[in-house]
A and B are shown apart, each in its own frame.
Chain A
């Protein structure tokens, strides 16, 4: 089993406003994109963030070789539970997933 981060060019996470997080997986090639598209399951990503699959939005964007997920932030930005003001590190959580 390979980790997602070893199979793609770059993973980026950012806030999409204070209540949403968005994670962009830049696969880097059409081959890597096809592999990620078929082998990275939405349920895996949901589980990593302790969410249910229907809480996630997934976009498979062939033209950019990008798979994108948008999800409710693990904690609202800047709330006392928040650990990451800009949502910067969550990319690494996704990178740990095995595909």
Chain B
């Protein structure tokens, strides 16, 4: 049997300390936690930075390093620093180094890097080793070259290689959420379908149970399946909460693709052992012919400057769309005229909050607001241009009249200056898999002694 202790769905989201202590008392074989996902958007991968505060990350990681020493088992983080790019891994390593020094206990750290050279990926793109997944964007080699970061998602094999170093702590770059949990059970011969299924159920911590924010769960893997137990007071897993977790952020609730194969839970049986624990058997792992890893990439998509005005005058609230359309037309003409820009060099948008901002053309409700937030969004190739066009847009959002004859209106600005530069923006550029002859060929492993 292999016991995996999962403190929470992501480092930075906090965990219940008492529940963690219960987990340590249960003598886990490994403590595994996820450090990120694409869910907060392309900025983090684009810049190679973490979403969560360094202070939170450090406090929570220090608690887990203490717990690891007490449990005398490895501690593993996957997708370190939200995006799992090499720079985010270095950030996590730096935090680990500080803590090891402060705690005065030497630790052996294995660092698994997932970063890819965009130039190299661009070169092999089109030679048959890289394949598009459903709904992938159209990609040319130059789009890949333009990426500031490309990462490959490590699977169980690469995580196992890191564990094989005998490290106390593994800091992994981008990895699948599940691989960090399934790696050890698979290595020790637990049921492969159960290992991947239990990993998927556990990857968000206690989200598979009641009291989801309590975080801590214990998953026990064996030869037939797995048992999941949330450890916080008041947290309970039931066959319903556990099986329903397969729906979460999954486009297919029965099939999950991983490096080297896929998990099929169509035949899974969920059984309540008591009030809190659920046992799952019957999940199946289906190996694939080719070993593939998923690629993620983010590339610069221009610079943005945003402004916001509030409309409260009933006439303007009622005619807000007309007003916004007129501003966009007039301000775009001014940008073409005064800055010599063509239409493909900039974009001005006004989203009407309280009106159609959520769904745009898909909105079906008839708006009936008493006030509207008009969010102006300027996108251009350079920061200087986006700020300049923001300044062109400013007087329109402040004073643009619906009719020529009326007295000049003024609308509410929230700040001075009204323009808020958002800096460089990024976009996801890849939804592809890459075939590997050897699982480690796209990954790099380093062992470092700290403290």
Contacts and interface: CB of A to CB of B under 8 A. Distances in A.
- Chain A complexes with chain B: yes
Interface of A: 14-20, 22, 24, 26, 48-50, 57, 59, 61, 63-64, 66, 68, 70, 72-74, 76-80, 83-86, 89-90, 92-93, 96
B426 A15 contact: no
A96 to B, nearest CB: 5
A77 B244 contact: no
Contact of A78 (B42, B351, B362): B42
B252 A70 contact: yes
Nearest to B298: A78
Interface stretch (B179-187, B225-233, B277-285, B352-360): B352-360
Interface string B357-382: 11111111100000000000101000
A47 to B, nearest CB: 10
B41 A78 contact: yes
Contact of B359 (A66, A80, A86, A89): A89
B94 to A, nearest CB: 27
Contact of A86 (B39, B43, B137, B252): B39
A85 B252 contact: no
B431 A14 contact: no
Nearest to A69: B251
Nearest to A21: B251
Given A86-B39, A92-B358, A93-B362, A80 B347 contact: yes
Interface of B: 38-43, 133-137, 240, 243-244, 247-254, 301-302, 304, 347, 349, 351, 357-365, 377, 379, 425-428, 431
B135 A20 contact: yes
Contacts of B40: 85-86
Given A18-B38, A22-B249, A59-B253, A93 B364 contact: yes
A63 B243 CA distance: 9
Nearest to B425: A80
Nearest to B301: A80
B113 to A, nearest CB: 22
B431 A19 contact: yes
A22 B247 CA distance: 9
Which of A14, A19, A50 has the most B CB atoms < 10 Å from its CB? A19
Given A18-B428, A83-B357, 5 more contacts: A19-B137, A86-B40, A92-B358, A93-B362, A93-B364
